[in-house]
Amino acid sequence: MKDASAIPDHLDRIQRSIVDDPAQAIGSAKELVESTAKVVLIERGLAVDERADLPALVRDAQQALGLRPSPTIPGPDGSDGVKKILGAVSGIPVGLGELRNRRYGTGHGPAGARTGLRPRHAHLAVNAALTWCHLVLDTLSGPDAPWRKTI
């Protein structure tokens, strides 16, 4: 990889903040997904639109990796189970963005106090982000990944 140094920075920040600052963990989880999507695009030799929102970056990264449900793929990748899981995983970044944008994560200054936010919410957001990031990074580095079959 050319430079994925942002990823470990986000992971360190997340681990330090889950219990003591759940809002920071949620904001950093969203940033982790954003950075991972950009790393994927750069590694695939594609342009990164710095003005693109999170759903657009995620969509572009998943397309660059061939990560989309398809009924024509043989084997486990074309199975109903994988298609359902992939569909659910694709919604993770959207949920993270919404959670952060609704004043539960850092990145937007709220006018009032964040109420009701607990470490369990941070764990949910962080673990979801990690699931998405692992999937795309495993697919990026996989020798038999879908995107390699289109070359």
Q: What is the pLDDT of residue 3?
A: 67
Max avg pLDDT among 40-44, 87-91, 102-106: 40-44
Total domains in the chain come to 1
Backbone CA torsion sign across 17, 23, 29, 35: negative
Q: Specify if 1 maps to a domain.
A: no
CATH number of the CATH domain containing 64:
1.20.120
**What is this structure's pTM?**
0.86
Cβ atoms of 60 and 41 within 8 Å: the answer is yes
pLDDT at 93 over 90: yes
Q: Specify if 53 maps to a domain.
A: yes
Q: Which domain holds residue 77?
A: 6-150
Q: Over pLDDT 70: what percentage of the chain?
A: 88
Q: Specify if 145 maps to a domain.
A: yes
pLDDT at 151 over 50: no
Give me the helices (H) in the chain, please: 6-17, 22-43, 54-65, 80-90, 92-99, 119-141
